[in-house]
Chain A
Amino acid sequence: MGIQRDRVRFNVGGKIFETSATTLANAGRDSMFGSMLDENWNLQSRETDEYFIDRNPACFSVLLDLLRTGELHIPAKIPEKLIYREALYYGLLDNVRTAKWGQFDGNRLTLAGSITGQAPGDGTAIRAGPLGGCCVAHGSMVHVYDWMLEEHSPIYLDYQRINDVGWIDSENIVVSACERLGRGDGGMGLFSSSTGDLRYKFQVSHENQVKSFTAGAMSFSSDYRIFASCKGRSNEYGIGVWDQVTGKQSDFFYESPDWSLGDADRLQWLQNSNCLLVATLFPRKDNCYISLLDFRVKRMVWSWSDIGAPITVHEKRVRDAIAMEETNSICLVNEYEDLGFMDLRRTGGGVKWSSRRRLMKGKMPDEPCYPKLALHGGQLFSSMNDSISVFCGSDWVLTSRLRRSYGGSICDFSIGGDRLFALHSEENVFDIWETPPPPLI
């Protein structure tokens, strides 16, 4: 047990650094410095009076500065990747990640980068991971990127067309895909995000018989359940439920003849009301079907459809829907990016549309994309053509618009890990938007 001196001297690749044990303590116990300064190891260094570290001094300087100030400043001459590698060596990657971008705010986003992928065809979906990574579904492949935007092994499920992807946690991704009739291919699988290995394949049983199925939209609940819209034979449409821990099917909500569940475009688990929002939208079906399912009582507790609604000149077809539990409402969007709202507390109410078409500028692109909605931290996001609009406040005032000229229309976007990812349809490109760290003063 040597006497702990606060001053610490490093010789990193021949360059001397001096710092304090207090600064190094910011690295945490699970880092090289944490171990090094632990009393178990502290006995030996007194004779030389300095620690030798056989690493790049320039990078060490950047990382030491990070430990001192909590901020990351990478000189232009050092590639980011080099810093990441060194941070991994010292066990400081988490410190780097938290310093790199600030807490998410839709009104302060800046474009942090764009990644061009190599997959052919239109993008299907993009999903932000919990730690700042993302995965992009293209045709039958899912490309996985970590927060450093390095690509890992891609994911595929029997090379069947991917319908939806989702992160269960930073290590696990679930993929839903089309089935191949009679072959048992497709369906749903759980993959490792770091290696791309298939870890588990989910099964659906009808009347105690395992059946092949096409899995569509998915949603995960905080009590470790997975929901997915499923299509099988004619009477095997509905919403399947699995346990994330055991992987076993725990429930199946069959669709009734006059309603649509198995084709749903969007599922959303509502934590407070303990219900699942299921929305099947135009153009997958001629009509829109939005409902809330309560699995405890096996009942549809709320529903809305535009069947029989008069078709006006300015046809308003719902293209996406999202439930907002704080305000007990559902937000809808049509192809003109008009927002509509419905009350979740009573069935049979109409849609209150708020027309914003006059705000739209610029011509329609050649290949329009359907609008998409997202909700994050009390801010509402809606994508339309090549831009994403941000709405705030109780009246959902348009406060910001994200747009970049390259890549064409945005076909999907996702928010998570304090980042926003937008996937473009024309080119195989996705953008990363971040909130910069807060200003100095």
Chain B
Amino acid sequence: MSNSKRRNFQIEAFKHRVVVDPKYSEKTWKILEHAIHEIYNHNASGLSFEELYRNAYNMVLHKFGEKLYSGLVTTMTLHLKELSKSIEAAQGGFFLEEMNRKWADHNKALQMIRDILMYMDRTFIPSTHKTPVHELGLNLWRDNIIHSSKIQARLLNTLLELVHRERTGEVINRGLMRNVIKMLMDLGSSVYQEDFEKHFLEVSANFYSVESQQFIECCDCGDYLKKAERRLNEEMERVSHYLDAKSEAKITNVVEKEMIANHMQRLVHMENSGLVNMLVDDKYEDLGRMYSLFRRVHNGLSTIRDVMTSHIRETGKHLVTDPERLKDPVDFVQQLLDEKDKHDKIISLAFNNDKTFQNALNSSFEYFINLNPRSPEFISLFVDDKLRKGLKGVSEEDVEIVLDKVMMLFRYLQEKDVFEKYYKQHLAKRLLSGKTTSDDAERSLIVKLKTECGYQFTSKLEGMFTDMKTSQDTMQGFYASQASETGDSPTLAVQVLTTGSWPTQSSAPCNLPAEILGVCEKFRTYYLGTHTGRRLSWQTNMGTADLKGTFGNGQKHELNVSTYQMCILMLFNNADRLCYKEIEQATEIPPSDLKRCLQSLACVKGKNVLRKEPMSKDIGEDDAFFFNDKFASKFYKVKIGTVVAQKESEPEKQETRQRVEEDRKPQIEAAIVRIMKSRRMLDHNNIVSEVTKLLQPRFLANPVVIKKRIESLIEREFLERDNVDRKMYKYLA
């Protein structure tokens, strides 16, 4: 009751609210809806853009945005369902074409719809967080066409079928394919990935898994790689023609995995055509292909590298341990160089100069060269051979190339000091016998050694060159001072060698013939007169002499012999027959050398200026020797070499080895002291490792030797053991 009363008193607010024609929104929407129909029906030419734009604007302005938007969704969905039917109805090959055509239509319609609804797109949609018109059109296409049950599977199968047909060599319509794939990408990357790419990759994996199995059964490695490479290129080309660029990495991954990674071991080790055969036969192209394919997969290159390394090590080991090859050091080293050249070429031509491959090659060489303890000697002999004769008529650049190659081998050596020993010996021989063909080449090599190993390494070698030069000057001075007295006494050429620089085997001098002795004395007086405080001792074991002799029938010859041989032959000026003992007594030449000299004088055919009884190859202590007046030679000058082993004999080798070991002792000690001086206190293992590291450039120090040296240093009170921890050494200043 009171309620009704109160209502009676209520005063109505005074308002003139403008009410829009209730049918206004309905009418306006009808116009727009009609326009959308016309657009989809390709009948837009009769539409007025301005009117439609204004109507859409008015709907939004008058708060009918929601109605406009939902009307758009409904109308567009309706049309898409129709499009969907016509696509479904397309037969066989026309399916994709129909889809492509309808997609183009829809896109055009969507653009026009967006044009008239632009005001809604700009104002109503952001403020209500709705999907913008263009995106809405794509979403509706996706939901009503692409994801329609009758189309989804058919589309996927059609696409995959086309790809398969192209893989098996058919020509397909790539343009159409590109358009359809682009449609999937336009609908969002997830549509492309889920509705196509995922399946595409799966099918591809199956395809290549089967195909690679077939190939590997019937092809050799080279052919297989060619096929794999072609497939890879085809897939990349496919991506560039009609797939999303982001798919390239994925599909190549599939091919790499199925065609390469899964068969890597089998390919590399394939019988008669695998990696080792390729290396042996220098198949640069195949190797290059293998490299570029394998580098794409995980562990691919390391697989190649490992096989290559073990192959090089194997062949190298065979090379350096084959007793046949050890007979000729020059050939031995040449083989090593050839092997290195071969693999260098492979790495540069086929393996892209890959640093890791170069390292593998180097470490392999280092490994097998040091398997043979005589490698340092052989390399030095190789150099000796080259510098003696091998470089005649060779241009300067070529000499450099040979020397560089030798240096490369030298770098692989662990026992560089052994090489130095031999090199010194060989150099000394070359210098003293005047056999070196090129002073420049000699010096160039010295410079190389110096840059490689430092000043210390070559100072003595350089000293040898200096001695040679000084000796020349000395001899000139000597003859200038003796000019009046020389008369017809023998000509003397002395090389004054600094003790220590040269590898002298200290041997007692033999008894020189009186004629020579006189000149020698004169020289000694001259030399000591110009240089005070020096001592000269004769190294008769290293000299040479030229003798003129008259044989039967008055035939005259000049004999080129060693100093020892000269001493022996001079004895025969006074006697026609001498037995071994007599010669030994008269000359005091060490027995081994004497035997060698006699052998070369009496047993070499064509150069036998002496005759021996009994006639045999070897020299016995009871043999007797005669002047051979029947000696004949068609040459005036006859060079009588000493029978001398070019390679070292076993005892000599032992001796060299021993000398090397002996020389290492002070170096090891110096290294220990240097380290301890800076560290003050260090345990045994660390000393050993540091010493080894410090000496690495020269040789590989033996831990046992290091231990002995430490002990010796403790004895001499350079070091002491720690009282608490016996493993620790302390440096005593």
User: Interface segment, A37-45, A225-233, A409-417?
Assistant: A37-45
Within 8 Å by CB of A195, from B45, B122, B127, lies B127
Residues of A within 8 A of B127 (CB): 194-195
User: Interface segment, B107-115, B570-578, B600-608, B724-732?
Assistant: B107-115
Number of residue pairs across A and B with beta carbons under 8 Å?
49
Residues of A within 8 A of B54 (CB): 54
Given contacts A53-B50, A54-B54, A89-B57, is CB(A40)–CB(B115) below 8 Å?
A: yes
Indicate with 1 or 0, residue by residue over A312-336, a CB within 8 angstroms of chain B CB atoms.
0000000000000000000000000
Please determine whether B122 and A88 come into contact, CB atoms closer than 8 angstroms: yes
Given contacts A40-B44, A41-B44, is CB(A35)–CB(B122) below 8 Å?
A: no
Residues of A within 8 A of B122 (CB): 88, 91
CB within 8 Å of A: which B25-57 residues: 44-50, 53-54, 57
Within 8 Å by CB of B112, from A30, A40, A44, lies A40
Number of residues of chain B lying within 8 A (CB) of chain A: 22
Least CB distance from A381 to B in Å reads 32
Residues of B within 8 A of A51 (CB): 50
- Say whether B123 faces chain A, with CB atoms less than 8 Å apart: yes
CA distance A53 to B48 in the complex (A): 11
Given contacts A32-B53, A53-B50, A91-B118, is CB(A40)–CB(B126) below 8 Å?
A: no
Given contacts A35-B49, A36-B50, A51-B50, is CB(A88)–CB(B115) below 8 Å?
A: no
Number of residues of chain A lying within 8 A (CB) of chain B: 21
- Say whether A169 faces chain B, with CB atoms less than 8 Å apart: no
Least CB distance from B49 to A in Å reads 5
Least CB distance from A154 to B in Å reads 16
Residues of A within 8 A of B126 (CB): 171, 194
CA distance A38 to B108 in the complex (A): 11
- Say whether A52 faces chain B, with CB atoms less than 8 Å apart: yes
- Say whether B479 faces chain A, with CB atoms less than 8 Å apart: no
CA distance A51 to B57 in the complex (A): 17
Please determine whether B48 and A44 come into contact, CB atoms closer than 8 angstroms: yes
Please determine whether B47 and A44 come into contact, CB atoms closer than 8 angstroms: yes
Residues of B within 8 A of A36 (CB): 49-50, 115
CA distance A54 to B46 in the complex (A): 19
- Say whether B119 faces chain A, with CB atoms less than 8 Å apart: yes
Within 8 Å by CB of B46, from A35, A40, A44, A91, lies A44
Given contacts A44-B47, A51-B50, is CB(A89)–CB(B119) below 8 Å?
A: yes
CB within 8 Å of A: which B137-158 residues: none
Indicate with 1 or 0, residue by residue over B48-68, a CB within 8 angstroms of chain A CB atoms.
111001100100000000000
CB within 8 Å of B: which A34-65 residues: 35-36, 38, 40-41, 43-44, 51-54
Please determine whether A43 and B45 come into contact, CB atoms closer than 8 angstroms: yes
Residues of B within 8 A of A43 (CB): 44-45
CA distance A305 to B57 in the complex (A): 60
Indicate with 1 or 0, residue by residue over A20-41, a CB within 8 angstroms of chain B CB atoms.
0000000000111001101011
CA distance A108 to B251 in the complex (A): 58
Least CB distance from A45 to B in Å reads 8
Given contacts A51-B50, A194-B127, is CB(A41)–CB(B115) below 8 Å?
A: yes
Residue of B nearest to A93 (CB): B122
Residue of A nearest to B57 (CB): A89
Residues of A within 8 A of B46 (CB): 44
CA distance A194 to B128 in the complex (A): 10
Least CB distance from A91 to B in Å reads 6
Please determine whether B48 and A32 come into contact, CB atoms closer than 8 angstroms: no
Residues of A within 8 A of B129 (CB): 192
Residues of B within 8 A of A194 (CB): 126-127
CA distance A31 to B129 in the complex (A): 21
Residues of A within 8 A of B47 (CB): 41, 44
Least CB distance from B244 to A in Å reads 23
Most chain A beta-carbon neighbours within 10 Å: one of B44, B49, B57, B127: B49
18 A-B pairs besides A30-B118, A192-B129 with CB distance below 8 A are A32-B53, A32-B118, A35-B115, A35-B116, A35-B118, A36-B49, A40-B115, A41-B47, A41-B112, A43-B45, A44-B45, A44-B46, A44-B49, A54-B50, A88-B122, A88-B123, A91-B118, A91-B119
11 contacts between A and B (CB under 8 A): A35-B116, A35-B118, A40-B112, A40-B115, A41-B47, A44-B48, A51-B50, A89-B57, A89-B119, A91-B118, A192-B129
Q: What residues of chain A have their CB less than 8 Å away from a CB belonging to chain B?
A: 30-32, 35-36, 38, 40-41, 43-44, 51-54, 88-89, 91, 171, 192, 194-195
